[in-house]
Copies of this chain bind each other. A is one copy, B any other.
Amino acid sequence: MGRPKTPLLSLARMASAALDIVDSDGLDGLSMRRLATVLGVQVASLYNHVKNKDQLLHEISNQIMAQVDVTGFHDGDWRTGVATWARSYRAALRAHPNMVPFLATGPARRETSLARADAVHGGLVAAGWPPRQATLIGASTKYLVIGAAMTSFARGFDDDVQVYVDRYPHLGQAHKLRAHADEIDDEAFELALLSFLDGLERQFTEVREAR
């Protein structure tokens, strides 16, 4: 067949189609052959635009991480900075839940991830936090976001009552959870985030008074 007059593929088109597959059929549902079929192309052609399947997934990851908002630090208020960062971070992950296991694993060497980390750390230090504390806050917040995106707590329970009755006395209502899954997950995340920020606030005043 040879080289076509106008290119059939592009990195953007591939990443977009791949993300569609992952969104609808999970991470395991994405195979290079299936992606090729969707794009109307043969498998080997994909490797002209991507070195690896891994690289393709990183490409998608960058796309997702670009949605994370770190502008909340601009006015020097660290609390709203962390809050908007955490919320937009979680929202970006929840938009593509099947990608979360990949996003959360492995080193954060991705471009966009590092850029976000840089902005957060810089924002916290500029607001008056010692570097060490800024690091810890960044880490803790990331834990919370990743955990919340990874594990939809409420969806982890079965609709069927029989699973719980008799065997787990305190989980009698657990099957109802799935109906309000999103609601509960949202509330649990907000609860953790706000109480965390409250805790930090107290610590922050101590830091300021120590000077």
A12 within 8 A of B: no
Tell me which of B140, B158, B170 contacts A125 (CB under 8 A). B170
Tell me the bound Cα distance from A104 to B196 in angstroms.
22
The answer to whether A19 has its CB under 8 Å from any CB of chain B is no
In the bound complex, how far is the Cα of B155 from the Cα of A42, in angstroms? 38
Q: How many identical chains are in the complex? A: 2
B122–A169 CB distance below 8 A: yes
Do residues B195 and A108 form an inter-chain contact, with CB atoms below 8 A? no
A155 contacts across to B, CB distance below 8 A: 107
Partner pick for A109 among B108, B158, B185, CB 8 A cutoff? B158
Closest approach, in angstroms, between the C-beta of A83 and any C-beta of chain B?
14
Chain B residue numbers with a CB within 8 Å of A195 are: 195-196, 198-200, 203
The answer on a CB contact under 8 Å between A105 and B109 is no
Asked if A77 CB lies within 8 Å of chain B CBs, one says no
A168 touches B114 (CB 8 A): yes
Residues in B neighbouring A146, C-beta threshold 8 A: 146-147, 150-151
- Interface hits, A23-40 → B, CB 8 Å: none
Name the segment of A3-11, A45-53, A59-67, A131-139 touching the other chain. Answer: A131-139
Residue of B nearest to A201 (CB): B195
A173 cross-chain contacts in B, Cβ below 8 A? 131
Q: Which of A143-196 contact B (CB under 8 A)?
A: 143-148, 150-151, 153-158, 163-164, 167-171, 173-174, 177, 184-185, 187-189, 191-192, 194-196
A171 partner, pick from B118, B189, B192, beta carbons under 8 A: B118
Binding site for B on A (CB under 8 A): 101, 104-109, 114-115, 117-119, 121-122, 125, 131, 135-140, 142-148, 150-151, 153-158, 163-164, 167-171, 173-174, 177, 184-185, 187-189, 191-192, 194-196, 198-200, 202-203
Chain A to chain B contacts (Cβ below 8 Å), 15 pairs: A104-B147, A104-B151, A108-B156, A114-B163, A114-B164, A117-B168, A118-B171, A125-B170, A136-B191, A139-B188, A140-B191, A196-B196, A196-B199, A198-B199, A198-B202
